[in-house]
Amino acid sequence: MIKIVSSCLILFFLSVNLQAENGHSLWLRSQSSSPVSVICSKKSIVTEIARQELLNGWQGQPGASIKLIVKQDKQVKGDGYKLTPEGVQANTDLGVLYGVYDLLRHQQTGETINPGIFNPSYERRVLNHWDNQDGTIERGYAGRSIFWRNTKDSLNVTEADKKLWREYARANASVGINGAVLNNVNANADILTDVYLKRVKAIADEFRPYGVKVYLSAKFSAPSQVGGLKTCDPLDPTVIKWWQAKVKEIYAMIPDFGGFLVKANSEGQPGPQDYKRTHADGANMMADALKPYGGIVMWRAFVYSASDNDRAKQAYEEFLPLDGQFRDNVIIQVKNGPVDFQPREPFSPLFGAMKKTSLMPEVQITQEYLGHSIHLVFLSTMWEEFLKSETYQEGEGSTVARCTDGSLFPQKHTAIAGVANVGLDVNWCGHQFAQSNWYAFGRLAWDNKLTSDQIADEWLKLTFKRNVAETTDWQDNFLKPVKQMMLDSREAAVNYMMPLGLHHIMSANEHYGPGPWWAPKRMRKDWTPPYYHQADTVGVGFDRTHTGSDAVSQYHEPLHTLFDNIQTCPDEYLLWFHHVPWSFKMKNGCTLWNELCYRYNKGLHQVRDFQKIWDKVQPYVDGERFVQVQSKLRSQSRNAQLWKDGCLLYFQQFSKMPIPYEIERPVNNLEYLIRNDTTRHQNYEQ
């Protein structure tokens, strides 16, 4: 803690000189290595990478001899591998590489390596990049796209491009991610034209040695937009032919192309319903075109219309009737919750309900609703909560994880997607700690039974250990408190943003600060926060019980009954499912209003505690990363206060109840927050 400012400056210059700790190395920081000899049963680009990683990063017995064996083993599945006392064995070259990364991770974290077989939970572990071809990124907070540029020569591939793509692919491979959708789901049809496909091929070429397949978001209207056809009707023979030809063209360039991601008939995007066809009609047409090459279609279930009574019900209502009608190389990509990546949602009831269709979870790594790259929020706990949610669809143990990874239902393909948080920022993710979310997504995609505790533990050791053998002091005074901060961070964000089941009350457009008041006239109601919080003088919350929208009925028993009853509904989903009177007595004896005040206040104080924790670990952190995180935490603290003030003062207009005396008073005026809603983003970060 001594010499905060000046020592930070000194360390800053040191680290700039050393190009060392600016975060660009992610969790793959170069470590001193011991000599090791590596014997490889098969020589390929992939196994050569594995060998080099071992030579560069070996921290086991000096002079040890390691065998890398590619050999069929029925117990090893897909990209899986087997760790043996002699080395790594896998069915594929890539499996060997994954095994090597696992081995090295164990050495670097100091964990014991237990021999055994390690198979991935999902076949396809895919990042979705919402990158536009002009280089911007929708909901990206870490600089511009690493794939696309807005300059005229944007399609020329440079050596710097290739180096960055290889670094990116290596980072993905090191945590088991094997696919990347290179463009925004709100797609530009141009991506399917030759000029762009050439760059896609160049990217694929750099990714290939690391086992990362490229996918593209395909615009459903592409046959018209870039193919000159008069229709895009999926049952029209010319359309079918167009897609077949396009797919053939792609595979000629990229033989291991992964397939298409499609957002159709959703938020204004074109789709089969424009031609009175179903989602199945559309998806199957594309799937048929991809099938000969092993490609898949990831078809998003993120659909809702302004006219329906409850947006949370619509994906289920629209897709469940189609169960069984999709080709086996179609996977329906379903967001974790029924609305849209909110700080907390119950799981989407589609999981487990669609039994004859492959479903893949879509989570959001980029923190659209969770503080962008300003707030420190470790999302692993959110995803763990989601994956371990009980659907009860096949009795107890029917978790979302098991409903999607093939262990409950016989799926031809399994997959999981995460919306990437990667950009051109030197540290990739904007916030040093946002890297942990990229890491966590990969680790959970590989093993959906991992705990967030373990993931945070691994990531912190890989990312912040100063030398191979850290002491107990480091464990006690850095690892332990910082890990706890990470594990608490998502609940803190829920507390200061949307506690007790509140959702979608953020400011418009930017989705950053509070905006429960935002409701311009003539705006689609389901795009305004009041639609979701329903605050009035009686109470607050969306009535989704049997007397309300009855969204509860989409959940399998006993959840249906549990959620439907205000007395048994868990606190964290209370306002998701119920319109609750302000004076309702919570399980802890508080009124709803007071509890809401306490939660917001607690969230703010949690962030203040994070600031203390971080300041205290300064001696253990290099200067540049320390100062960056310290500065971001300050912004998070200021902004948590904005959330608390904005939401409490707004809801107080309805509750007409006082903020409990022991709670710190608001320091912002509601009128000011409302008036400055659209410009306030300028003050997000200092």
Radius of gyration over alpha carbons of the chain, in Å? 25
Work out whether 658 is an interface residue with a second copy (CB under 8 A).
yes
211 vs 666, beta carbon nearer a second copy = 666
Q: DSSP letter at 476?
A: I
Stretch that binds a second copy, among 144-152, 375-383, 573-581, 658-666 (CB under 8 A): 658-666
Work out whether 320 is an interface residue with a second copy (CB under 8 A).
no
Question: CB within 8 A of 590, min separation 6: which ones?
Answer: 598
Q: Do the beta carbons of residue 366 and residue 409 sit within 8 Å?
A: no
Distance between CA atoms of residues 534 and 516, nearest Å: 10
Work out whether 548 is an interface residue with a second copy (CB under 8 A).
no
Contact residue for a second copy among 649, 677, 680, 684 (CB under 8 A)? 649
Question: Which residue in the list 53, 79, 318, 340 is annotated as catalytic?
Answer: 340
291 vs 605, beta carbon nearer a second copy = 605
Work out whether 476 is an interface residue with a second copy (CB under 8 A).
no
Please give the sequence-ordered ranges of beta strands (E in DSSP) within 182-253, or none if there are none: 213-217
Work out whether 3 is an interface residue with a second copy (CB under 8 A).
yes
423 vs 666, beta carbon nearer a second copy = 666
Work out whether 477 is an interface residue with a second copy (CB under 8 A).
no
Let me know if 340 is a catalytic residue. yes
x-marked contacts with a second copy along 586-625 as a string, rule CB under 8 A:
----------------------x--xx--xx-x-------
41 vs 583, beta carbon nearer a second copy = 583
**Residue 155 burial by CB count (10 A; 0-12/13-18/19+): exposed, middle or buried?**
middle
Helix (H, G, I), strand (E, B) or coil at 667: coil
195 vs 667, beta carbon nearer a second copy = 667
Nearest-approach distance from CB 377 to a second copy, in angstroms: 17
Query: How distant, in Å, are the alpha carbons of 217, 279, 511, 557 from that of 263?
Result: 8, 10, 21, 31
79-118 residues near a second copy, rule: CB under 8 A: none
Nearest-approach distance from CB 608 to a second copy, in angstroms: 6
Helix (H, G, I), strand (E, B) or coil at 334: strand
Let me know if 190 is a catalytic residue. no
Question: Which residue in the list 111, 134, 267, 664 is annotated as catalytic?
Answer: 267
**Residue 328 burial by CB count (10 A; 0-12/13-18/19+): exposed, middle or buried?**
middle
Work out whether 45 is an interface residue with a second copy (CB under 8 A).
no
Q: Do the beta carbons of residue 302 and residue 335 sit within 8 Å?
A: yes
16 vs 667, beta carbon nearer a second copy = 667
Distance of CA 102 to the CA centre of its chain: 22
- Residue 430: left if φ>0, alpha if ψ -120 to 50, beta else—which one? left
Nearest-approach distance from CB 605 to a second copy, in angstroms: 9
Distance between CA atoms of residues 634 and 637, nearest Å: 5
Helix (H, G, I), strand (E, B) or coil at 161: helix
Work out whether 628 is an interface residue with a second copy (CB under 8 A).
no
Nearest-approach distance from CB 640 to a second copy, in angstroms: 9
Q: DSSP letter at 191?
A: G
Let me know if 368 is a catalytic residue. yes
Which of 284, 315, 289 lies closest to 300, judged by CA?
315
Contact residue for a second copy among 111, 267, 476, 664 (CB under 8 A)? 664
Work out whether 1 is an interface residue with a second copy (CB under 8 A).
yes
Work out whether 678 is an interface residue with a second copy (CB under 8 A).
no
Distance between CA atoms of residues 376 and 664, nearest Å: 23
Nearest-approach distance from CB 14 to a second copy, in angstroms: 17
Q: Do the beta carbons of residue 383 and residue 444 sit within 8 Å?
A: yes
Work out whether 160 is an interface residue with a second copy (CB under 8 A).
no
Contact residue for a second copy among 582, 666, 680, 684 (CB under 8 A)? 666
Work out whether 24 is an interface residue with a second copy (CB under 8 A).
no
Nearest-5° Cα angle at 451, 445 to 454 = 100
Containing 597, the helix (H) or strand (E) segment is: helix 592-616
Q: Name the site residues for a second copy (rule: CB under 8 A).
A: 1-7, 608, 611-612, 615-616, 618, 631, 633-635, 637-638, 641, 649, 652-653, 656-659, 661, 664-672, 686
Which residues are known to be catalytic? 267, 340, 368
